A = this chain, B = another copy of it.
Amino acid sequence: MTTAAHHPEADSKISVEHWLRMYRQMVSIRLFEEQVNELYTRALMPGLAHLYAGEEAVAVGICEALRPDDYITSTHRGHGHCLAKGASPDRMFAELLGKEAGYCRGKGGSMHIADPATGNLGANAIVAGSVGIATGAAFSAKRLGTNQVAVCFFGEGALGQGVLYEVMNLAQLWKLPVIYVCENNLYTEYTHYSETTAGDIVARGAAFGLHAESVDGQDVRVVHDTATRLVERARQGQGPAFLCCNTYRYSGHHVGDINREYYRSKQEEQRWKSERDPIKLLGDWLSQQKFADSVLFDSIHSQVKSEMEKAVKFAIAAPYPSPEEVEQDVYA
Contact = CB atoms under 8 A, between A and B. Distances in A.
A230 to B, nearest CB: 17
Contacts of A323: none
A272 interface: no
Interface in A151-210: 159-166, 168-169, 172-173, 195-200, 203-204, 206-210
B208 A196 contact: no
Contacts of A172: 198-199
A166 B162 contact: yes
Given A162-B164, A163-B162, A169-B160, A199 B204 contact: no
A162 to B, nearest CB: 2
Contacts of A166: 160-162
A206 B195 CA distance: 18
Q: Chain copies in the assembly?
A: 2
A196 B173 contact: yes
Interface string A199-230: 11001101111100000000000000000000
Given A166-B161, A169-B160, A173-B198, A207 B206 contact: yes
Contacts of A169: 159-160, 196-199
Interface string A302-329: 0000000000000000000000000000
A277 to B, nearest CB: 32
Nearest to A128: B162
Given A161-B166, A162-B165, A200 B196 contact: no
Contacts of A197: 169, 173
A207 B196 contact: no
Contact of A203 (B168, B196, B203): B203
Contact of A162 (B162, B195, B206): B162
A10 B208 CA distance: 38
B160 A162 contact: no
Contacts of A199: 169, 172, 206-210
25 contacts: A160-B166, A160-B169, A161-B162, A162-B162, A162-B163, A162-B165, A165-B204, A168-B198, A169-B196, A169-B197, A169-B198, A169-B199, A172-B198, A173-B196, A173-B197, A198-B208, A198-B209, A199-B207, A199-B208, A199-B210, A200-B209, A203-B207, A204-B207, A204-B208, A206-B207
Given A160-B169, A169-B199, A173-B195, 12 more contacts: A159-B169, A160-B166, A161-B162, A162-B162, A162-B164, A168-B198, A173-B196, A198-B209, A203-B203, A203-B207, A204-B207, A207-B207
A218 B195 CA distance: 38
A159 B168 CA distance: 12
Closest 4 CB pairs of A and B: A162-B162, A199-B209, A172-B198, A207-B207
